[in-house]
Structure formats: C-alpha cells, structure tokens
Chain A
Amino acid sequence: MLGRTASSLFWMSRYMERAENMARLLEVGHRISLMPGAIEGHRDEWRSTLLSAACEQTYAQKYDIITAQKVADFLIFDESNPSSIRSVIRTARNNGRAVRTALTRDVWESINATWNELVAVKPNELTPDRLPVFLDWVKQRSMSFRGAVLGTMLRNENYYFSQLGNFIERADNTARILDVKYFILLPKASDVGSDIDMHQWGQILRSVSAHRAYRWFYRNSGYKAWLVAEFLILREEMPRSLLFSYSWICTALAGLAQLHGKRYDIHQQAEDTRDNLRNGRMEDIFQSGLHEYLQHFILSNNQLSRDIGTTYNFP
C-alpha cells in the first residue's frame, strides 16, 4: 500500500472522530448556556469549550469577546478555523476522496453524503434552538461513518490505518477534555460538593457521552473526582477512555505487524502506554499530579502519531 493511502485513511478517520467530539463539546456548551442565569461562569463555559477544542488562541486572533453565537459560528462553520466542524469534515472527505479506491462504497458514501448535506446548511439558519438537532446530526453522521468502517471494511491495512487514526484522536480528545475541564474550570474549593459542582462533573462526563454510563458503572457513588478520572483514564469498559483507545491502537498495530511480518519501535511504544494504563492506579496518578499526567499523555500520544507516520512512510 502507498504511504499516501495509509496517511489519508489515518487522517480521514481522525477527522471524522474530531467532528463528533467537537459536536459533543458544543452540546455541553449549549446546555450550560441554557442554565438559569444565577449560574456564574456561563462565559467561562464557552471559554472552556474553546480550550478543550484547542481553539482558544485562533479564536482570540479573530474576536475580542466571547459570545455564544460567535463561538458556535467559529467552531461550526468558520473555514478559517481548521478545527471547525465544517473544516474537519471537509478535510476528512478530501482524504477519503484521495483514497476513494481504498474505501468500501458504504464508507465513501457515508462520508460523501455527510459533506453534501453539511454544505446545504446555511449558517444564518442555524439558530440556537436548532443547534441541538444539528449537533445530533453531526454525531449521527460520524457514527454512520464508523459503522460503515466496522461493518464493511476488510480487516487489512486499510482498516488498521483507519482505526489508528480514530483512536489516536479519541485518546487525545478525552485527555484534553479531562485536563481542561478538571483543572481550569473547576469552581473554587469552597464550592466543592455544591450544585454547581455537580453540574461541572456532569459536564465532563457529558462531553464524552458518559454521564449515564458512569451512573451504571459506579452505582451509588455520586460524582467523585477520583472516580470520574478513573473512568476516563483507566477503565477498559468505557469506550472513550484512554485505556480503551490504547487497546484498540495496539490491536491495529498488531494487525499491521502480522500482515507485514514486521514489528517496529512504535509497537513497543504503544504497548508500553497500554500496559501502564492497565496497571495504573489512581492514587499514583493523583499523587504525581493529574494535570502533569495528562499533559505527558497528550505529548506522548502526539509523538506516537508522528512515529506511526514516519514508520509507514506517510508523505
């Protein structure tokens, strides 16, 4: 397989995953902005959305103040923002188009239909009341794409590179949300345990569609920092956790190693990360500092992404 093909499959899936995550972040932002006015920090919520999306600086270059409308527009339609939903779906589709021949018809048609429907949406028609429906649509489209990948692609190189992109992105996303929401936006110590606090916790979980799953999983424990972090980092049952993502990354890399009859440094690198997560303990992580832990994770995840590219000759 051409290195270019592998690269396009990787990035196509990364960007489709990113679109879904962006939609979730916006959903949370929108929910908070609907909360009664008594809640302070409404502006902060949009700021946290920008931060979690790693778009705060680019936004600041364009706008002086943060308003719901501007943030939503910037994160959904703005073509000058490479992380806007429109930009990421366009990039995903361009990558898919470049490797049209490596995709099944279902995968291509899913991604192509998403783009065709998206360009028909006019920014001025997307009023706040229609936002949730639109964001739901984005999530649905991303899921349709992944469903087509899982359900129709041969388990060959095409599939493995696509999975790598998907889970490198998901791991990055979960780590980033947990880091930003937990450290920058948590209310002052005096608020801990209050209703606001509950909202904030709920919000982190919602950002990764895990608030219900959390309740099922931890039953009557309530929202606890410790448990939320554990859920999103160390629990393999949770499909957006770091461990879950790394299990899938390792499976995909093992698939490639088997096909090629060759293992590289990246295989060891990914397996080490997965094993550390599997054997990790929350008290150790908190002791060394959650923020430091997550920052380190994000960097090493990025490094792995680059190393995958170098190893398999991405252009």
Chain B
Amino acid sequence: MAEIFNEMQDKSGQVRSPYLRVEDWLKTLKRKDVERAIQEAESRFRRQGITFAVYGDKEAAERLIPFDIIPRVFAASEWRRLSAGIEQRVRALNAFIHDIYHRQEILRAGRIPADVIIQNAAFVPEMMGINPARGIYAHIIGIDIVRISENEFYVLEDNCRTPSGVSYMLEDRETMMHLFPELFAHQRVAPVENYPALLRKTLESVAPPACEGEPTIVVLTPGIHNSAFFEHAFLADEMGAELCEGDDLFVMDGALYMRTTQAPQRVDVVYRRIDDAFLDPLTFRPDSAIGVPGLFDLYRAGKVTIVNAPGTGIADDKAIYTYLPDVIEFYTGEKPLLKNVPTWRCADPQSLKYVLDHLPELVVKEVHGSGGYGMLVGPTSSRKDIETFRAKLKANPKNYIAQPTLSLSAVPTYTSSGVAPRHVDLRPFVLSGDRVRITPGGLTRVALKKGSLVVNSSQGGGTKDTWVLED
C-alpha cells in the first residue's frame, strides 16, 4: 500500500499551516483534561438522546457514536478547490437524473449502456416525464470523499437518496464550542450552524406550483425505531417544521394534509426520510405501513414536492458510479474536478477475473449495499474471510464492484495510547434549490481502530468536528 498522508504533519514532522493552532493546543492538553472532556461530551450526547440504533443488535439497541475531540482542519484554499469540484458534481447529478427521467440523451449518445439504467432496481419508471419544481431531484446530497495526498481527493460514493449524518456535523461543532471555547477565539472557523436555516430556504424554494403563500414543510420519518430518528427530530425542530409519520398525513380533494388537533392543515413540501419503496402504497410497495396513500399522484400533479424526489437512487447506485466521470463531462462540458476511484465491475468477466486474482489487495462492495455491511477489505482480512468472500463473489458477480485499497489520509486522534493518526473520510452536505449551497466542512468519520479503513459508525467508526478556516 502507498504511503499514508498525514493531514497534520508532513514527513519531516513539520506541522502544516492549518493545524498550527491545533498543535499548540494539543501540547497544553493534559490527559485528565481530555478524559474529562470526553466524558462530558458523552454525557451531553447521552442526555440529549443523540444515539443511533444498530440493526440486528438487540443488546445495545441505542449506542453513542464515539466523538473525537481533535478537530480536522482544512485551509480556505483547500476548501475552495474541493467545493468547486463538489458543486460541479452535484449539478451534473441533478442534470443526469432529469435526463434519465426525460429524453435519456445520455443513453442515446451511448455513454452509458441502456441496460445499466433500465434494468437497475434504483430506476423508478413512474418518474418518467415528471417535472419537479426547478428541475431539481436530489436537493440534499452527501458526497463521501477521501484524501490520499496533499492535492488528491477521490469521491468514494454519492448519496442522493436520504443521506444522514448532518446532525452529527452540527452537534460535533456545538460540543467543541462548549468544551473548548478558547480554540475558537484565536482563529476564524467557518460556521456550520446555519445549515437548518439553509435547508429550510432550499425546501421553500422548491415549493410546488400549486402552493400559494409561505409553504408548509414537514419532515416525514418512519418513526422512533429508525436508526436516524434523532436526526429527523433534530432537523424538524431546527427548521420549525412538524415531524410526521405516514399516518399523520392524508390526501383529500387533490391536496396533502396533516391531521392536527384542530382542522386539517395543508402541506406543500415533504422532506421525507423514508425510502422510495415505502412512500406510497398505492404506487410503490403495497405493504408499506409507513407511507401516505396517494402521495405520488399529488406529486405527479405538482400539488406537493417530495424531497429528495423518488428515483434519485439511479444517480448514486454503485453500478452507475463508474460512469460518473462521463456523466459530468456530458452535462457540464468540463473535465471532472474531483476524481472517481478506479472501479472494476464484477459483472464484466475480465474484471471479475482480475478481482478474483487480486482479492487480498482490493476492497469489494455490494452494488446495493450501504453502511459498510457486506464488504471485504482485502488487506486487513484473514485468508479465511477472503475465501468465504470469494465464494460469495463467484456465486453472484453482478452484485459486486471492486476498488483498489486507498490509503486514506490520517488525522491525529485521541486513542487509549495517546494521540495517534487514524484514517478519515469526509461527507460534505450539499443543498440544491434556487442555488447550490455547500456547508463549509461536513462530517468527518474516523476509523478508531489502528490501521482500520472502515469509518462507518456501524463498524466502530467515530466522528470529528470538521473545520474550514477562513482567510
């Protein structure tokens, strides 16, 4: 594996400039202060109920995501470059989804085989020909980015359905400001706290044509047992929107309403945090008990906006990912500013052969998987695990893609044996409505186990506050 890029120090031990202040602070930090801070942060999270549920784990039904107190820092110039690439990508993703559900120019041009789209489980034919407000489909996108050197960033994956984690971005900042206010006094860290206000603005800007006056926005959640319920409640609260479950909404006389303690109240924009398949039992899965019967017909008629739109999964599917550089060029006429990770599609026999021959070096993922479940990280797996995986891969190659094991950058992290580098990724959150808005920073996830490259919270990852310094 290539050399690991340490974001704080270069090879000679010289501290990079964005981290100078953090370095000073770390020197003055005593072990007992750190332990007190960690304890306080945890009890803060616990008290407020900032927990997530791990599916299939009854014992620890509610867990905290570990929080690391050492921030990750970007210089203003680094961030400018990154955000230009992010904005380009997000615009291309929305243009792509629009095209797929209209004239499908990109298929006619032969840039993507039609089968890859039409046969894809994430393609929603019901969306054909629908014109959502402002032509935006994925209003909220989380892009997972890794860094491998000073100037090399790769996009690992796009999350265009219902990306989560933004509440951690906000709470991590709150917690840092609460624990170490002095850190913020000496330098200007770009604020993230206006995210909910910007989200609200974005949602208002895509109100349906039928809406007159100030639009009523609701957050639609599957309920308290969902792993991200805290975030649903948090965002609703911060935006001043009602948090609804499917039963709270109903369709009447061609409009959407919520059941209140008084007269029914009209709803214009639904920020839904439930999957497409469960949105509306009359159009999608008929057994869905968490959706709203008739919602999709209203959407089609322009009476209500669904955010993100149904069918956006076609843009973040792992089988589509490999075509993204082409997609960006096709719609923007520009070279992609952010790179894709080279990817082998195991459906292709030649690629499959290569992958099977190089399993110990590769990362293999399920095409439709998420959350770090069901993946193989070759270099850190035992021979036995690799062989078990080989059998699964051979049985259903179409279900997998493979990528080289990237040496993710590392950032100093507080561990049981003191401060040590740990691998990180980054999920910036991007809003698209009347314009594209990128919150400076995002959610940094950190693999707390030494040497581990898996940052998912379900696999023992933690989070860090992420700073973008202002010039």
Give the residues in chain A near B361, CB-CB below 8 Å: none
Give residues 215-271 of B contacting A (CB, 8 Å). Answer: 223-224, 229, 233, 236-237, 242-245, 247-248, 258-262
Please determine whether B261 and A101 come into contact, CB atoms closer than 8 angstroms: no
Which among B224, B233, B245, B248 is the interface contact of A94 at CB below 8 angstroms?
B224
B30-55 CB contact bits vs A (8 Å, 1 = yes)? 00000000000000001111000000
Give the residues in chain A near B233, CB-CB below 8 Å: 97, 100-101
Give residues 5-30 of A contacting B (CB, 8 Å). Answer: 5-6
A72-109 CB contact bits vs B (8 Å, 1 = yes)? 00000000000000000000001001111100010011
**B199 CB to nearest chain A CB (Å):** 15
Whole-angstrom distance between the alpha carbons of A5 and B218 in the complex? 13
Nearest residue, chain B, Cβ from A313: B259
Please determine whether A313 and B243 come into contact, CB atoms closer than 8 angstroms: no
Give the residues in chain A near B236, CB-CB below 8 Å: 101
**A309 CB to nearest chain B CB (Å):** 11
B363-377 CB contact bits vs A (8 Å, 1 = yes)? 000000000000000
Please determine whether A97 and B224 come into contact, CB atoms closer than 8 angstroms: yes
Give residues 184-229 of B contacting A (CB, 8 Å). Answer: 223-224, 229
Residue A174 lies at the interface, judged by CB distance under 8 Å to chain B: no
Please determine whether B248 and A97 come into contact, CB atoms closer than 8 angstroms: no
Residue A38 lies at the interface, judged by CB distance under 8 Å to chain B: no
Which among B47, B48, B237, B242 is the interface contact of A2 at CB below 8 angstroms?
B242
Which among B46, B248, B262 is the interface contact of A4 at CB below 8 angstroms?
B248
Which among B46, B224, B258, B259 is the interface contact of A98 at CB below 8 angstroms?
B224
B59-100 CB contact bits vs A (8 Å, 1 = yes)? 000000000000000000000000000000000000000000
Residue A162 lies at the interface, judged by CB distance under 8 Å to chain B: no
Please determine whether A312 and B237 come into contact, CB atoms closer than 8 angstroms: no
Query: Interface residue count for B (Cβ, 8 Å)?
Result: 21
Residue A189 lies at the interface, judged by CB distance under 8 Å to chain B: no
Please determine whether A97 and B229 come into contact, CB atoms closer than 8 angstroms: yes
Please determine whether A315 and B259 come into contact, CB atoms closer than 8 angstroms: yes
Interface of chain B, main secondary structure: mixed
Nearest residue, chain A, Cβ from B265: A2
Centre residue among B46, B237, B244, B260 by max chain A CB count within 10 A: B260
Centre residue among B49, B237, B244, B248 by max chain A CB count within 10 A: B49
Give the residues in chain A near B260, CB-CB below 8 Å: 1-3, 313
Whole-angstrom distance between the alpha carbons of A1 and B245 in the complex? 13
Whole-angstrom distance between the alpha carbons of A116 and B45 in the complex? 12
Which among B46, B237, B242, B245 is the interface contact of A100 at CB below 8 angstroms?
B237
**A112 CB to nearest chain B CB (Å):** 5
Please determine whether A2 and B49 come into contact, CB atoms closer than 8 angstroms: no
Whole-angstrom distance between the alpha carbons of A53 and B354 in the complex? 68
Give the residues in chain A near B245, CB-CB below 8 Å: 4, 315
Please determine whether A260 and B46 come into contact, CB atoms closer than 8 angstroms: no
Please determine whether A157 and B49 come into contact, CB atoms closer than 8 angstroms: no
Residue A113 lies at the interface, judged by CB distance under 8 Å to chain B: yes
Give the residues in chain B near A99, CB-CB below 8 Å: 243
**A276 CB to nearest chain B CB (Å):** 27
Nearest residue, chain B, Cβ from A3: B259
Given A2-B244, A4-B248, A101-B233, the answer on whether A312 and B261 have CB atoms closer than 8 Å is yes
Which among B242, B259, B261 is the interface contact of A157 at CB below 8 angstroms?
B261
B340-358 CB contact bits vs A (8 Å, 1 = yes)? 0000000000000000000
Give the residues in chain B near A219, CB-CB below 8 Å: none
Residue A188 lies at the interface, judged by CB distance under 8 Å to chain B: no
Please determine whether A101 and B237 come into contact, CB atoms closer than 8 angstroms: yes
Whole-angstrom distance between the alpha carbons of A75 and B233 in the complex? 32
Give residues 231-264 of A contacting B (CB, 8 Å). Answer: 256, 260, 262
Please determine whether B244 and A109 come into contact, CB atoms closer than 8 angstroms: no
**A197 CB to nearest chain B CB (Å):** 48
Given A2-B244, A2-B248, A4-B247, the answer on whether A109 and B237 have CB atoms closer than 8 Å is no
Give the residues in chain B near A101, CB-CB below 8 Å: 233, 236-237, 243
Give the residues in chain B near A116, CB-CB below 8 Å: 46
Please determine whether B262 and A112 come into contact, CB atoms closer than 8 angstroms: no
Give the residues in chain B near A312, CB-CB below 8 Å: 261
Please determine whether B49 and A97 come into contact, CB atoms closer than 8 angstroms: yes
Whole-angstrom distance between the alpha carbons of A1 and B242 in the complex? 8
Whole-angstrom distance between the alpha carbons of A116 and B62 in the complex? 10
Give the residues in chain B near A161, CB-CB below 8 Å: 261
**B258 CB to nearest chain A CB (Å):** 6
Whole-angstrom distance between the alpha carbons of A262 and B261 in the complex? 11
| Given A3-B261, A100-B49, A260-B262, 14 new contacts (CB under 8 A) | A2-B261, A3-B260, A4-B259, A5-B242, A6-B261, A101-B233, A109-B47, A112-B49, A113-B47, A256-B261, A260-B261, A262-B262, A315-B245, A315-B247
Listed by A's residue number, 24 A-B pairs whose Cβ atoms lie within 8 Å are A2-B242, A2-B248, A2-B258, A4-B247, A4-B248, A4-B259, A5-B242, A6-B261, A97-B49, A97-B224, A98-B223, A100-B49, A105-B48, A108-B48, A109-B47, A116-B46, A161-B261, A256-B261, A260-B261, A260-B262, A312-B261, A313-B261, A315-B245, A315-B247
